[in-house]
Structure 1
Amino acid sequence: QRKAVTMLRNIVSNILEFHNYLLQRTDARVKDYPLMQSPVEMTTILLTYVVFSVYVGPRLMANRKPFHLNTAMVVYNLSMVVLNAYIVYEFMMSGWATTFTWRCDLCDTSSSPQALRMIRVAWLFYFSKYIELLDTVFFVLRKKQSQITFLHVFHHSFMPWTWWWGITLTPAGGMGSFHAMVNATVHVIMYFYYGLSAAGPRFHKYLWWKKYMTAIQLTQFILVSVHISQYYFMEKCDYQVPLWIHLIWIYGTFFFLLFSHFWVQAYIKGNRPPVTVDKPKQNGFISDDITVVTNGKHLENGVAHHYSNGKILPGKVKEV
């Protein structure tokens, strides 16, 4: 029993020591931004999101009719188009379209107007990931559990969690911020697509380009991977946190492989079942079950997953 108590004390002591270390390492320029004071707040929010998405939400809606939230979804998606377009603009004006070389761009540790502008937009990109959790909330309330896949939940929770560390240690991340700008650019297109889809059947004729959404995603990962790969071929690049370089390269390559697999299965081998169509509902309308998932996911590797008693189970490939 004494050994157990001693072990517990050591664990708590190590956690507190690491927490104090983080507080000391947190960039002074970002300390006063919301959700940047400690990893506890953001971890709590994201864990709550996971529990709601996988367990609580589906059970609350089990014996309820799905909500018809098309108006709210149109407003939400078009608002996200505007927000992401602003993020792209700010990334460009705070370095990528002004002073960056697009090669070995180091983290800016100064308090210059450009550095502070980069910090603001990097934090805004990070904060937008919490707003995007509403994607899943809409799925839950509309009883679209088949679209709440493992990778959907994992990506929506893991990305803001990892970005907290990046914003904490290197808020003006230089070449490490390129993937965020590209991702925000893709989200402008994605949320515009979502907005048209939610607007009703009369707009679905304008969604003929849904096939190319996967191509847009593949292009995103190619751009990110190629850009960050330059680091490995430069004679000298004193980027302050090489770990970010390695993680971004792994991320870009991993998702490129997933999307390539989906592209082959869906558009070369043609392993796509017919589009499912919801039946007309009272106070509603017929709507195609069109699925395009933001944040670098397009039906998560082309695999739809289905709920059974709150558990996420693998299903078949659905048309995208």
Structure 2
Amino acid sequence: DINVLQSTMLQELSSHAMDIYDYLLAGVDPRLKSYPLMQSPVPMTVILLCYLFFVLYLGPCIMANRKPFQLKEAMIFYNFALVALSTVIVYEFLMSGWVTTYTWRCDPIDTSDSPEALRMVRVAWLFWFSKIIELMDTIFFVLRKKHGQVTFLHIFHHSFMPWTWWWGVSYAPGGMGSFHAMVNSTVHIIMYFYYGLSAAGPRFQKFLWWKKYMTAIQLIQFVLVSLHVTQYYFMDSCDYQFPLIIHLVWIYGTFFFVLFSNFWIQAYVKGKRLPKQDIKQSLNGTAVHTNGRHQENGTSIGINHGASNGSSNGCVHHENSSKMKKA
């Protein structure tokens, strides 16, 4: 009977899926079992799905007929709080191995329960959790109706990185695979400090002349990360326990280097992604702050969506003002 056969196949597939799930969870570092949201990938996945639902549908629906929130004080606090958190993360990464016992080449994961190894586990989890906090970047955009900054790359980065890093932290909290987390947190100290000043208002514009170099700092980040993991491919031997993470970090660094390079060319060489009043300033190499306009909590990278005037079923649709532009 066809129905019995289909039911049997579904049961077998379900059984195999559960076996794979149990196998994956069995490999999770037992030292992380007591940390929040680390017992299973389900809560983390639910959080990210709720984030996507809000920023892509629910948030724009709620804000469709409302004026944008200002949120100045909240954003100032948020950005400078992330500066402080990122500073702590960088310090903890350094003291957990990178300036104590690591060689900056092939550094395996310390799986012991030594104080330094447990410190690395803690900061690896803290770095991952900071990515959950940073989902607020996009929520601020939606509440302030900054639809042009809710780009494809922005959403992809904020949702994909926390999901992949959950698995990275679960299996490999430390070792050479944690280098990119330390570098990323260093960049975030600079980035959120810029955003904090930017959110403070026009009187701080004179201190933001280095806006253009934010993209350059991001590019340097990806170069450093890619170069560091590239060492692995030229070593005679390396006992780092999870080579897959090395491959993923290399792909991730290279992928974003290409996308950020394209943004640099479009924004600062061709001037295509800036307001018309700012193009001349940008091409001359000066800072872009005409009439107090500035980017806050994100870079306009990827597919740029502008808010349209029309609505359907009470929701604002975000469409390009011209043709869709690929990242």
TM-score by length of 2: 0.88
2:205 maps to which residue?
Answer: 204
Q: How does 1:128-277 map to 2 (within 5 A)?
A: 128-171=130-173, 173-274=174-275
Contact kept? 1:275, 1:288, Cα under 8 Å: no
CA–CA distance in structure 1, aligned partners of residues 259 and 211 of structure 2: 18
Kept in 1, the 8 Å contact 2:152–2:304? The answer is no
Letter of the 2:268 counterpart? Y
1:291 to 287, 292, 295: 295
Contact map agreement 1:149 1:312 (CA 8 A) in 2: no
Number of aligned pairs? 305
Which stretch of structure 1 is more off in the superposition, 253-262 or 4-13?
4-13
CA contact (8 A) 1:182 1:220 kept: yes
Looking at structure 1, the residues matched to 49 and 291 of structure 2 have their Cα atoms a distance apart, in angstroms, of: 32
Q: Distance in 2 between matches of 1:272 and 1:160?
A: 28
* Conserved 8 A contact 1:54-1:310: no
Contact 2:132 2:162 survives alignment (8 Å): yes
Point out where structure 1 has 5 or more consecutive residues left out of the alignment.
278-285
1:260, distance to aligned residue in structure 2 (A)? 1.4
Q: In the TM superposition, what is the alpha-carbon distance from 1:310 to its structure 2 partner?
A: 5.5
Q: Residue in 2 aligned with 1:21?
A: 23
User: In structure 1, how many angstroms separate the alpha carbons of the residues matched to 2:238 and 2:304?
Assistant: 42
Stretch deviating more after TM superposition (127-136 or 309-318) = 309-318
Matched with 1:90 is: 92
Distance in 1 (CA, whole Å) between partners of 2:227 and 2:111 is 25
TM-score (norm 1): 0.89
Alpha-carbon distance in 1 for matches of 2:202, 2:232: 47
Unaligned runs of 5+ in 2: 279-289, 309-314
Q: CA deviation at 1:292?
A: 5.3
Q: Distance in 1 between matches of 2:186 and 2:216?
A: 14
| CA distance 1:60–1:106, shift in 2 (3 Å) | same
**Structure 1 pair 292/71, CA: closer, same or farther in 2 (3 Å)?**
closer
Report the Cα distance in structure 2 between the residues aligned to 1:275 and 1:101, rounded to whole angstroms: 49
Paired with 2:39 and 2:291, the residues of 1 have a C-alpha distance of 44
Evaluate the alpha carbon distance shift between residue 247 and residue 137 of structure 1 in structure 2; reply closer, same or farther with a 3 A threshold. same
Aligned to 2:284: none
Q: Deviations over 1:192-225 (max 9, x none)?
A: 0110111011011111110111110110001001
Shift in Å at residue 110 of structure 1?
Answer: 1.0
Q: How does 1:30-69 map to 2 (within 5 A)?
A: 30-69=32-71
Counterpart CA distance in 2 for 1:85 and 1:51 is 31
Local SS of the residue matching 2:36: coil
Percent pairwise identity? 63
1:63 to 1:312, Cα distance in 2 relative to 1, 3 A: closer
Cα-to-partner distance string for 1:95-141 (whole Å, 9 max, x where unaligned)? 11111100001111111111100000000000011100111111111
Between the aligned partners of 1:62 and 1:80, the Cα distance in structure 2 is: 29
Q: 1:273 to 1:27 in 2, by over 3 A?
A: closer
Mean Cα deviation higher: 230-239 or 209-218:
230-239
Task: State the one-letter code of the partner of 2:295.
Answer: T
Structure-2 separation of matches of 1:270 and 1:107:
45
Q: 2:282 matched to which residue of 1?
A: none
CA distance in 1, matches of 2:276, 2:77: 25
One-letter code of the match for 1:305? H
Q: Distance in 1 between matches of 2:56 and 2:275?
A: 27
